[in-house]
A = this chain, B = another copy of it.
Amino acid sequence: MIVILRENPDQQQLNHLTNWLKEQDISVHRTEGVHQTILGLVGDTSHVDIDRIRQMSIVESVKRVQEPFKNANRKFHPLDTEIRVGSALIGDGSLTVIAGPCSVESEEQIITIAESVKKSGAKLLRGGAFKPRTSPYAFQGLRDEGLKLLLEAKKVTGLPVVSEIMDLSHLDLFADVDVIQVGARNMQNFELLKQLGKSNKPILLKRGLANTYWELLMSAEYILASGNEKVILCERGIRTFETYVRNTLDITAIPALKTLSHLPVVIDPSHAAGVSTFVLPLSMAAVAAGADGLIIEVHNDPPHALCDGLQSLTMQEFDKTMNRLIPLKATCGKIY
């Protein structure tokens, strides 16, 4: 961390700052310029509250050199984290595909889809029970009942299941869910993250629509710092000025997050694109850029889906997509 001081800093305040840093095991090196004094802070600065320094009247600005996250940081954990879920090992260089409908709608629907995507090569089944919808008038998911049906599909097919949690009070309902998803709108719901950090389940943490890589990793840090090491990062499109597609898939998130962190990275092409015709090219791009997995929406009857039908593949389309992705992955191999 670099602290740039204003001209002629008050000596007492400067001592106060230096001592406060030393108490945190940070040593302070000083460079005197004509107009400016620069302090170089050396040590583990990830726990230092940068705002506390920034607001001092002797300080002009503070710049981080080191990332503010430690548990999620590849520098301190050079080896890839690998997370076992059912027959899948996420993060070992292979490709794990998670597939299923936006919403669980009925027992028949979820079982039909589960069986089909399993046959096509999906390793996990996704299905929404609690649905975060912009409008209070839109379908809100089958909730408890939806989770029960999803678990029924798990029993029938043997596929582990992923579902989104929307509130801490629902946590007990997720006892048999294999991977708990935190949605983009809850990426900074810190009370939720802290509790999930006490769980031993893998957490699929989606990047918020306007959150940076550092912020995503700080949210992962909440979970990791509370004791749960099984975090899967998920990029699902960010909000930009472009309105032709629902969101802008940030493909650079793959090499960036792989560089910054040891956690696995999964891509959600369905929510980014918002239309089913773009799911194939975006999935291809994600695999070629080295994603550890994909989470793809598949529906048995997209035009009548209760939610997000526009972006859902049919089961036939999903099968064709897998037939493109498997040889692609074989050609690409392990990238990071």
CB within 8 Å of B: which A300-336 residues:
302-303, 305-310, 312, 327-328, 331-332, 335
In residues 29-65 of chain A, which contact B (Cβ within 8 Å)?
29-34, 36, 38, 40, 42-43, 46-47, 49, 51-52, 54-57, 60-61, 63, 65
- Known A29-B33, A51-B308, A55-B310: A2·B63 in contact at CB below 8 Å: yes
| In contact, B29 and A32 (Cβ under 8 angstroms) | yes
Residue A88 CB within 8 A of the other chain? no
- Cβ-based interface call for A255 (8 A): yes
Name the contact of A243 in the complex, choosing from B54, B138, B212, B335 (C-beta under 8 A).
Answer: B212
Q: Are B290 and A281 in contact (CB under 8 A)?
A: yes
A52-B245 contact given A42-B36, A222-B136, CB 8 Å threshold: no
In the complex the two chains form, what is the Cα distance from A234 to B209 in whole Å?
Answer: 20
* Residues in B whose Cβ lies below 8 Å from that of A212: 241-244
Tell whether A218 is near chain B: CB-to-CB under 8 Å.
yes
**Cβ of A57: which chain B residues have Cβ within 8 Å of it?**
303
Min CB distance, A213 to chain B, in Å? 5
A133 nearest CB neighbor, chain B only? B190
Which B residues are in CB contact (< 8 Å) with A68? Answer: 135, 137
Q: Chain A's interface: helix, strand, loop or mixed, by majority?
A: mixed
Contacting pair A225 B281 (CB below 8 A): no
Cross-chain contact A309 with B52 (CB below 8 angstroms): yes
- A284: which of B56, B278, B335 is its contact (CB, 8 Å)? B335
**Chain B residues, CB < 8 A from A254:** 281, 285
Instruction: Give the distance in Å from the alpha carbon of A303 to the alpha carbon of B293 in the complex.
Output: 35
CB distance from A187 to the nearest CB of B (A): 8
With a CB–CB cut-off of 8 A, which chain B residues contact A285? 251, 254, 285-286, 288-289
- Of the candidates B2, B46, B134, B282, which one forms a contact with A2 in the assembled complex, judged by CB atoms under 8 Å apart? B2
A241 to B309, CA, bound (A): 24
Cβ-based interface call for A124 (8 A): no
Of all A-B residue pairs in the complex, the 6 with the closest CB atoms, nearest first, are A210-B210, A55-B309, A33-B42, A31-B40, A288-B288, A29-B31
**Residues of A in contact with B (beta carbons under 8 Å apart):** 2, 4, 13, 27, 29-34, 36, 38, 40, 42-43, 46-47, 49, 51-52, 54-57, 60-61, 63, 65, 68-69, 130, 132-140, 166-169, 185-186, 188-192, 194, 208-210, 212-215, 218, 221-222, 225-226, 238-245, 248-252, 254-256, 259-260, 272-273, 277-278, 281-282, 284-290, 302-303, 305-310, 312, 327-328, 331-332, 335
- Some 12 contacts from A to B, beta carbons below 8 A apart, are A4-B65, A49-B138, A51-B138, A63-B63, A166-B190, A189-B189, A209-B210, A214-B244, A240-B250, A281-B289, A285-B285, A327-B331
